[in-house]
Amino acid sequence: MAKKLTKAQLVSKLKKADIPVPKTAKVEDMEHRLAHWHGGGGFMVRLLKNPAHHKWDGHPVKLLKDKSILYWIPKSDMAKEILESKIVMNLGNVSEPSNDAQVIDVPSDYRMVKQHGSNDGADS
């Protein structure tokens, strides 16, 4: 069984990885960021097309609902997948979201969904 890291160790790992320490400083939040976020800030994006078509079912771009909202997504595998959808406009890479941006965090079950959900035939 893996040894649990202390808060101080988690903070140190986050800082070394260039991932911001969450304001809550809860162990679960820090472990989530270490598991899902990549260092180097996040992306300010705006939705160009509504992902209502069924081809977007199960895709993380469905987390973005409104074309009039500015979103901030942490640098992650999920962010890469959203940017590659080509239905969002990348407005830049910034370390912190602006006050008017809605933060879209990586769902805690993101890897599980990707492993068990449709991944467009990657295993074929």
Distance from C-alpha of 33 to C-alpha of 27, rounded to nearest angstrom: 10
- Cβ density class 29-64: b for 16+ within 10 Å, e for less: ebbbbeebbbeebbbbbbbeeebeeeeeeebbbebb
What is the band of 121 on the pLDDT scale with cuts at 50, 70, 90? very low
**In what helix (H) or strand (E) does residue 7 lie, and over which residues does it extend?**
helix 7-16
pLDDT digits (tens, 9 = 90+) for 53-111: 888 888 999 999 999 999 999 999 999 999 999 999 999 999 889 999 999 999 887 76
Mean pLDDT, range 11-36, rounded to an integer: 91
The pLDDT of residue 111 is: 63
Question: In terms of pLDDT, which residue wins out, 114 or 9?
Answer: 9
CB count in 10 Å sphere of residue 73: 26
Based on C-alpha coordinates, what's the Rg of the chain?
A: 16
Q: Are 79 and 73 in contact (CB under 8 A)?
A: yes
Q: Are 16 and 7 in contact (CB under 8 A)?
A: no
Sorted by where each begins, the domain ranges of the chain are 39-116
